[in-house]
Amino acid sequence: MKFGFEEAQTKYSSGSQRARIWTEQWVSRWIYCPNCANSRLSQFPANLPVADFLCGNCNDQFELKSQRKAFGAKVADGAYFTKIERLASSTNPNLILLNYSLGTMAVLNVCMVPKHFFIPEIIEKRNPLASKSRLDRLQHIAWSRTAIGAICIVRDGVPVPKETVIAQWQKTLFLREEDADARGWLIEVMKCLDLIGTVEFDIEQVYAFEGRLGALYPHNMNVRPKIRQQLQRLRDSGYLDFISRGRYRIGSSRP
């Protein structure tokens, strides 16, 4: 894997527009499909509503977002209603986040967020700047709520081993079998486990997030039983290992 851009001729004069072309070319050449290990992704024709790339083997689709600075809590995206409709479809794309340097003309960091971490709650409408502004049809992705699912492919200019990336991807594929509501609860509990910060934990440590989860799901009056249910489902999926009564271990191959 090489990280420098191939500076092909483009019709654009601005650095960001040229960088878009260069990053798309780089992804086409160097990024593999983490879902099936296919060695290349194919680029879609320009101006499709959501996706940018396709795996010709497993048909997973990918949307590319690239920028010079590190990604913050939110990622600007396209049409709100198009995105919401697509979340429920089999063609909802995975997200590629690519950070580059124009100074060195090279890729710095690449992360992917699997599509099963996207639920309607993380898609936020942008506030319109004017009554007829196109911005009232656009949206943000709340990156901070999907970061638990992010899988690094390149970190600080160093590639993560392909087998590591694929193992991490496979670990959460069980979420694709869940509907949006069920995935939302599972993902939020997984985030709580990440905040605990240890491989082994007691259920009481998860109960400490009862207020946080209750605020996210105010119509649920039985948060503790719901937490126990999610831990059971995470155990059944292989994401968690059961150690003893009320005690769990996060699986070694988790992201």
Looking at 6-15, 24-33, 97-106, which range is the least confident one? 6-15
User: Is the model's pLDDT at 4 over the cut of 80?
Assistant: no
Q: Taking all residues of the chain, what is their mean pLDDT, rounded to a whole number?
A: 82
What pLDDT is stored for residue 174 in this prediction?
A: 94
Q: What is the pTM of this model?
A: 0.80
What pLDDT is stored for residue 71 in this prediction?
A: 79
DSSP secondary structure letters along the chain: ---B------S--SHHHHHHHHHHHHHHHHPPPTTT--S--EEPPTT-SS--EE-TTT--EEEEEEESSPP-SEEEEEEHHHHHHHHTSTTPPEEEEEEEETTTTEEEEEEEE-GGG--GGGEEEPPPSSTT-GGGGEEEEEGGGTGGG-EEEEETTEEPPHHHHHHHHHHTGGGGGS-HHHHHHHHHHHHHHHHH-SSEEEHHHHHTTHHHHHHHSTT-S-HHHHHHHHHHHHHHHTSEEEEETTEEEE-TT--
What pLDDT is stored for residue 234 in this prediction?
A: 95
Which whole number is the average pLDDT over 199-220?
95
Instruction: Report residue 135's pLDDT band, with 50, 70 and 90 as the boundaries.
Output: very low
User: Is the model's pLDDT at 147 over the cut of 80?
Assistant: no
What pLDDT is stored for residue 255 in this prediction?
A: 47
Instruction: Report residue 92's pLDDT band, with 50, 70 and 90 as the boundaries.
Output: confident
Residue 4 main-chain phi, psi, to 5 deg: -75, 145
Q: What is the pLDDT of residues 63-80, one digit of tens each?
A: 998 888 887 766 766 555
Q: What is the pLDDT of residues 12-54, one digit of tens each?
A: 556 567 778 889 999 999 999 999 999 999 998 766 656 789 9
What pLDDT is stored for residue 13 in this prediction?
A: 56
What pLDDT is stored for residue 139 in this prediction?
A: 55
Q: What share of the chain in percent tops pLDDT 70? A: 75
